[in-house]
Amino acid sequence: MTTLTLENLNAQHGLLHAVRDVSLAVGSGEVVALVGANGAGKTTLLRAIAGAHRPASGMIRLDGVDITAVPAHRRVGMGVALVPEGRRLFAQMTVEENLLLGRSVARPGSWTIDKVIESFPNLAARRKAKAGTLSGGEQQATAIGRALMSNPAVLLLDEVTLGLSPLAVDRLYQSLAGLMRSGTAIVLVEQDLGRAMSVATHVVCMLEGRVVLEGAAAAMNRGQITDAYFGLDRRKVEA
């Protein structure tokens, strides 16, 4: 079943055309790795899906319902949650208080604080600690947990491993493994191509706002994605 559908979506930053005619479908339980160089339009696309950036044209559907003009806070209640780059936690609030914020406009579902702690065991001892005192990995786990508390049908993860140590990244991906099998549709922006391909069912590569390569992850190799990432045409290079 298709959960999220984009049809010819366009988004701009002033005169900059950041997202160009992007069409995409993400089904329940699918993990789409959204890859591309800095400035390719990945973050703008996620923000447009979440309602934080208004599209110039095109359509966004959630379970067949047009949500293109729906405000961001209402999209959360409908099942769309964004974990933004930079985490955006409330530093003076505890882990538990940050997680409870995710329930304020939540739709019905099974995610609770205890289930988040079970999924991210590194938060167990930090439950009453202020978010500003957490390590980078603990902050990222809290940010993802806050999004999960809304019981999303679609989870948007923007550079969730950025700035983390290799050990913290390993722990984070171990915790995400169960989530990726839970039936939630996930769109993951990840600079580490190896990591992205290890968890993705589909890969979408963007270049200068456009989708230049997409398909099943199992049917692609690293060379194809790297060429699309940098805008190379292997046939021209070989010629």
Q: What is the 3-state secondary structure (H, E, C) of 220-237?
A: CCHHHHHHHHHCCCHHHH
Inter-CA distances, 17 with 9, 13, 22, 97, 209, Å: 11, 7, 12, 38, 7
Confidence of residue 169 (pLDDT cuts 50, 70, 90): confident
Q: Are 225 and 41 spatial neighbours (Cβ–Cβ below 8 Å)?
A: no
Region 55-80 average pLDDT: 96
The confidence score (pLDDT) of residue 175 equals 78
Range with the poorest average pLDDT among 61-65, 77-81, 102-106, 118-122: 102-106
φ, ψ of residue 146 to 5 degrees: the values are -60, -40
Residue in the structure block whose two tokens are 């989870």:
155
The confidence score (pLDDT) of residue 34 equals 96
**Is 2's pLDDT higher than 70?**
no
How do residues 133-154 score in pLDDT, each as one tens digit? 999 999 999 999 999 999 999 9
Please state the three-class secondary structure of 35-75 as a single string: ECCCCCCHHHHHHHHHCCCCCCEEEEEECCEECCCCCHHHH
Give the mean pLDDT of the chain.
90
The confidence score (pLDDT) of residue 234 equals 44
Note the pTM of the prediction, 2 decimals: 0.91
Confidence of residue 163 (pLDDT cuts 50, 70, 90): confident
**Is 85's pLDDT higher than 90?**
no
**Is 167's pLDDT higher than 90?**
no
For residue 104, what is the domain's CATH number? Answer: 3.40.50.300
The confidence score (pLDDT) of residue 239 equals 32
| DSSP helix/strand/coil, 193 | helix
Rg (CA), the chain: 18
Range with the poorest average pLDDT among 2-6, 48-52, 80-84: 2-6
**What's the domain count of the chain?**
1
The confidence score (pLDDT) of residue 236 equals 37
- Percent of the chain topping pLDDT 70: 96
How do residues 7-46 score in pLDDT, each as one tens digit? 999 999 999 999 999 999 999 999 999 999 999 999 999 9
Which domain covers residue 47, as residue numbers? 2-238
For the CA atoms of 19, 161, 73, 101, the dihedral, rounded to the nearest 10 degrees, stands at -170
Closest Cα partner for 32 from 121, 154, 175, 207?
A: 154
